[in-house]
Amino acid sequence: MARMSLKTQLPFFKKVLLFKGLFEEQIMELIGIMKSREFAEGELLTREGAREDSLFILLKGEVEISKSLLMPLWEDETQPQEKSLIHLSEKDFAFFGEMALFENFPERSASIRSLKPCTVAILEKKEFINILREKPEIGSMIYKNIATVLTRRLVKANKDMLKLTTAFCLALEGE
């Protein structure tokens, strides 16, 4: 596991929505409990269904988030297929794996693979729980920020589902 000096990354962390509303000193406390890890191009950061308890912040590089299709594609019914959902780079100031902070070893909802060599900061749940106990104002702000992001994602998913359902209904009517 590579160790990057996360403390020098404060200007970057201040732009990550996860830390919105926190003072520099509070962000530095969180940075102090995180680890960094590098991944080679094509390496899997996490796999859908894995039981893990950490949140990732993409510091450098590019990743792809994908989900398994429930039904195999017709061309090759023996191979499990994945659908690419989104590509993220450091310019997105992105974090992912946030649901791990809410449950005990929840299943990952998607797979994440590096498209380019990347570096992530990792916030483990046990470290976050310690901060929550010692500095509840930090934990409550983090939870609020996560709730904001999850709400936005849910609204987008609902809109996408409505579009998909509408397209499906129109396709059935055309037959």
pLDDT digits (tens, 9 = 90+) for 52-78: 999 999 999 999 999 887 655 555 555
The pTM score is 0.81
Contact criterion met (CB below 8 Å) for 99 and 106: yes
Confidence of residue 2 (pLDDT cuts 50, 70, 90): very low
pLDDT of residue 85: 84
Burial class (CB in 10 A: 0-12, 13-18, 19+), 100: buried
Q: CA torsion sign, 44 to 48 to 50 to 52?
A: positive
> Does 112 map to a domain?
yes
> Does 20 map to a domain?
yes
> Does 1 map to a domain?
no
> Does 67 map to a domain?
yes
Q: How many CA atoms lie within 13 A of 171 on its CB side?
A: 6
State the average pLDDT over residues 86-111. Answer: 89
pLDDT of residue 74: 57
> Does 51 map to a domain?
yes
Range with the poorest average pLDDT among 43-47, 50-54, 85-89, 164-168? 164-168
11 pLDDT higher than 60: yes
Distant-in-sequence, close-in-space partners of 32: CB < 8 Å, separation ≥ 6: 6, 7
Q: Which of helix, strand or coil describes residue 113? A: strand
pLDDT of residue 82: 79
Structural domains in the chain (count): 1
> Does 136 map to a domain?
yes
> Does 44 map to a domain?
yes
pLDDT of residue 1: 38
> Does 153 map to a domain?
yes
Bigger pLDDT: 108 or 1?
108
The CATH code of the domain that includes 127 is 2.60.120.10
43 pLDDT higher than 90: yes
Mean pLDDT of the chain: 88
Q: Measured between alpha carbons, how far is 98 from 136 in angstroms, rounded to an integer?
A: 18
Percent of the chain at pLDDT > 90 equals 62
pLDDT of residue 101: 87
User: What range does the domain containing 136 cover?
Assistant: 6-173
Q: Measured between alpha carbons, how far is 142 from 64 in angstroms, rounded to an integer?
A: 24
pLDDT of residue 7: 82
* Edge-to-edge strand list for the sheet holding 111-114: 44-46, 111-114, 62-68, 82-89
pLDDT of residue 153: 82
Bigger pLDDT: 71 or 146?
146
